[in-house]
Amino acid sequence: MNNLERLAFDRQHIWHPYTSALDPLPVFEVESASGVEIRLADGRVLLDGMSSWWAAIHGYNHPELNKAVENQIKSMSHVMFGGLTHKPAIELAQKLIEITPDGLDWVFYSDSGSVAVEVAMKMALQYWQSQNKPEKNAFATLKKGYHGDTWHAMSVCDPETGMHSIYNDRLPKQFFVEEPQISFFGEWNDSDILPLEKLLSENYKQIAALILEPIVQGAGGMRFYHPNYLKQARLLCNQYDILLIADEIATGFGRTGKLFACEHAHISPDIMCLGKAITGGYMSFAATLTSQKVAQTISEGSAKVLMHGPTFMANPLACALAIANLKILASNKWKNEVLQLEQTMNLYFPEFKSFKEVKDVRVLGAIGVIELHKAVDMKVLQAIFVNHGIWLRPFGKLVYTMPPYIMSTEQMKELIQKTKSTLNQYFNN
């Protein structure tokens, strides 16, 4: 098949994320990717501002990550984790325990971020069952949040912008609280934490855990909230005997300017979910970390074990990639890379305020957000982005970038300028 025939087959037979089978959004066939560039099959080259949904933090075709795959596949690409173990899984767990916040001493591997969240929620439920408190079986969470597309993960996503209504109210009912109102750079006021305090004080007997995205609410709105909110949430969970689950799938491994977003508030959760950038964007892989207390309590319960075990748990290829990724991060080059991206975006993003259609712009770490007053026509806007030689994936009212950390200042300037030209064309058509 030629390129057009392949695209026709794709359109007629392959589902893409959040896309109709009857009228799917257009897709662009990729031939290769290297550094911060994506080469399409038709010869066009796109500057990538998305890191493939925030995961390819070191760009594409990275020699050290490639080498990790090549070396590992010579010994084994996979072996079951039930009854067996291997060096990559052990080395990776050692490194994750070392770099994550204090007190996270047990590691559970899984296949994707959504599954990592499912595992975290199961940990919380089993923790309370093991203490003969089965009534603590609900979760508290923030509005405007997003935690994945699997079943229980969906139940703690925003009730309005999530998928609750589609599934006929069959999802578990959780406790939602108003999202934080004070921005990351705003002046803190204790009034912002009062709705959460009220919710937890009134319902703590039913709540197993509070699950939230620390500092940055991602797909639910790309909102950056004040570190004091997270700090106070930790204290409230301690006060009301509720576990705290930090979903660091989008924020982990440097995206916000800290290795983990929890570091902005100097707190440690009881359970932490990691994914996306854990393998440098090469493979789907995730980990759920928890404390000795949680792990021991679960193991002392009636089940005696944590009831989960994916077929590809601790996949050696993925573990080897994650180890290589962490070695790259350990050089600490990422700190300057992220800082330079942040400084460049802070310098030029205010220019987007000249568009009357723009409601707000905000930057944190290697995240730049342009919030519009109205939702975009993604089909139209995406095509203009591609015609301008950049890859961004807007959604709803948001046009945003999470570029690979290795993007140079000149490339970042180019991405911003072409984004501005694209929006100018889109708004004036």
Query: Which tens digits make up the pLDDT trace of 289-345?
Result: 999 999 999 999 988 999 999 999 999 999 999 999 999 999 999 999 999 999 999
Which of these, 151, 149, 150, 195, lies nearest to 175 by C-alpha position?
195
Which of these, 408, 416, 148, lies nearest to 275 by C-alpha position?
148
pLDDT tens string 182-218 = 999 999 999 999 999 999 999 999 999 999 999 999 9
Give pLDDT, residue 238.
Answer: 98
- 243-247/358-364 β-pairing: unpaired
Average pLDDT, the chain: 96
Give pLDDT, residue 169.
Answer: 80
Q: Is 212 helix (H, G, I), strand (E, B) or coil?
A: strand
- CB-based contact 110:313 (threshold 8 Å): yes
pLDDT over 80 (residue 137): yes
pLDDT tens string 366-397 = 999 999 999 999 999 999 999 999 999 999 99
Question: pLDDT-derived band of residue 160, with 50, 70 and 90 as boundaries?
Answer: confident
Q: Is 149 a catalytic residue?
A: no
* Mean local confidence (pLDDT), 150-179: 89
Active-site choice (60, 146, 348, 400) = 146
Question: pLDDT-derived band of residue 288, with 50, 70 and 90 as boundaries?
Answer: very high
Task: Provide the whole-model pTM.
Answer: 0.97
Q: Is 74 exposed, middle or buried (0-12, 13-18, 19+ CB in 10 A)?
A: exposed
End-to-end CA distance of the chain: 35
Higher pLDDT, 147 or 163: 147
Give pLDDT, residue 408.
Answer: 98
pLDDT over 90 (residue 168): no
- CB-based contact 243:354 (threshold 8 Å): no
Q: Is 229 a catalytic residue?
A: no
Q: Is 102 a catalytic residue?
A: no
Active-site choice (276, 397, 418, 420) = 276
Q: What's the number of CA atoms in the CB half-sphere (13 Å) around residue 111?
A: 9
Distance between CA atoms of 129 and 19, rounded to whole angstroms? 39
Give pLDDT, residue 328.
Answer: 98
Active-site choice (48, 111, 192, 247) = 247
pLDDT tens string 95-115 = 999 999 999 999 999 999 999
Contact partners, residue 311, CB within 8 Å, separation at least 6: 80
pLDDT over 90 (residue 163): no
Q: Any idea which residue has 């460049």 for tokens? A: 344
Which of these, 270, 279, 274, 257, lies nearest to 367 by C-alpha position?
257
Q: Is 158 a catalytic residue?
A: no
Kindly state the percentage of the chain with pLDDT values over 70: 100
* Mean local confidence (pLDDT), 242-252: 98
Which amino acid is it at 209?
A
Distance between CA atoms of 14 and 21, rounded to whole angstroms? 8
pLDDT over 90 (residue 79): yes
- 286-290/271-274 β-pairing: antiparallel
Give pLDDT, residue 71.
Answer: 98
Distance between CA atoms of 274 and 260, rounded to whole angstroms? 10
Distance between CA atoms of 205 and 189, rounded to whole angstroms? 28
pLDDT tens string 21-71 = 999 999 999 999 999 999 999 999 999 999 999 999 999 999 999 999 999
